[in-house]
Structure 1
Amino acid sequence: MDLLPFDEYVRSLDRKRMSAGVLYRDAAGRVLLVEPSYKPHWDIPGGAVDAGEAPWTTAIREVQEEIGLNRPLGRPLVIDHVADDGRMPEGLAFVFDGGVITEQEARDLILTDPEIIAARLEYLDDAAEKLKASLARRLAAALDAVRTGELALCENGEPIGG
């Protein structure tokens, strides 16, 4: 068997896109959602991982940029493998625990990033039509991970394994 030279092998490796978001929730079980200006579906605070950046660093940076919160980041709740959909290549989506946020704190958020139009606390069931189906499933898995203390591994938002 002929082996590629190491540098050529490294260049041949697949690359995956990554995103990192933060789940904030209130005592009633609502989640903090943001309305982006650049896409039709609502999201959680977060964004694309830059080259050379760790997902947890992205989560902290994006939260500060989008909604002005500067809080310690909690544990990872979800790692989701997102399949190539023909438009976007496959990737990994991380969801970290942001902890509890009050209604007043959510109302007081200062949205200075032009990418974000609004932010509000909503129940997942009530927000379903605002969210991509895969994100709704990922957020349900994240809420379950908060309750169980277990990391949720998902494929397109669907928890895998038992």
Structure 2
Amino acid sequence: MTACPLPEHDTDTAGVLFRDREDRVLLLEPSYKPTWEIPGGAVDADESPWAAASRELAEELGLDRPVGRLLVVDYVRPQDGRPEGVVFIFDGGHLEEADLADLVFADGEILSARFHTMEQARTKVKPLLAARLAAVEAAHQGVSALCEDGRLAGF
């Protein structure tokens, strides 16, 4: 009898939060799912979260830039057949509407990029990411937010 291989899951991810001067957040429209995302993706084996975030910026948007300070660390419990994981969100700083015209969506994974108000963003992303958008407040306060399953952890 042959054993079925376990599905591979990306358990740690890294994303980058960009804002404009009006404090709207940059969201990407993926070609492969209905919900929008911030730039980012899976952390590969033997890769640091900050290196993964920079790599994803280059792959998804054609941006070659270092990421800023850590805004959010979110511990995500096992769910829906996925193992536990950790999500890191880094500060990307400010972009302007004009900067969006220079973005390069090379591999067809991303269809578009747009700035959204927090209210709009929360309706376009998965609930876990909506809760993680506390990163905007962390950026204003100069702190890092600690979350569990997308919600701010109370200490």
User: Scaled by the length of structure 2, what TM-score is found?
Assistant: 0.89
User: Scaled by the length of structure 1, what TM-score is found?
Assistant: 0.85
Cα displacement string for residues 43-99 of structure 1 (whole angstroms, at most 9, x for unaligned residues): 001000001110000000000100111122100000001122223222100000000
Contact 1:78 1:94 in 2 (8 A): yes
Contact 1:32 1:106 in 2 (8 A): no
The one of 76, 79, 95 aligned to 1:82:
76
Q: Which residue of 2 aligns with 1:155?
A: 148
Question: Which aligned pairs between 1:1-162 and structure 2 lie closer than 5 A?
Answer: 17-139=11-133, 141-161=134-154
Q: CA RMSD in A?
A: 1.6
Count of matched residue pairs: 147
Contact 1:67 1:111 in 2 (8 A): yes
State the distance in 1 between where 2:109 and 2:10 align: 24
Q: Highest Rg: 1 or 2?
A: 1
Contact 2:10 2:42 in 1 (8 A): no
**Identity score, percent:** 52
Contact 2:25 2:121 in 1 (8 A): no
- 1:17 is paired with a residue whose SS is coil
Cα displacement string for residues 116-158 of structure 1 (whole angstroms, at most 9, x for unaligned residues): 111111112113221101101101x100110111110001111
Contact 1:80 1:157 in 2 (8 A): yes
Q: Which residue of 2 aligns with 1:10?
A: none
State the distance in 1 between where 2:102 and 2:148 align: 35
Name the one with the larger helix percent.
1
Residues 1:16 and 1:105: Cα distance change in structure 2 (over 3 Å): closer
Q: Which structure 1 segments of 5+ residues have no match?
A: 1-14
Contact 2:18 2:92 in 1 (8 A): yes
Query: Could you tell which deviates more after superposition, 18-27 or 108-117?
Result: 108-117
Q: Which residue of 2 aligns with 1:3?
A: none
Contact 2:40 2:53 in 1 (8 A): yes
Aligned partner letter, 2:87: A
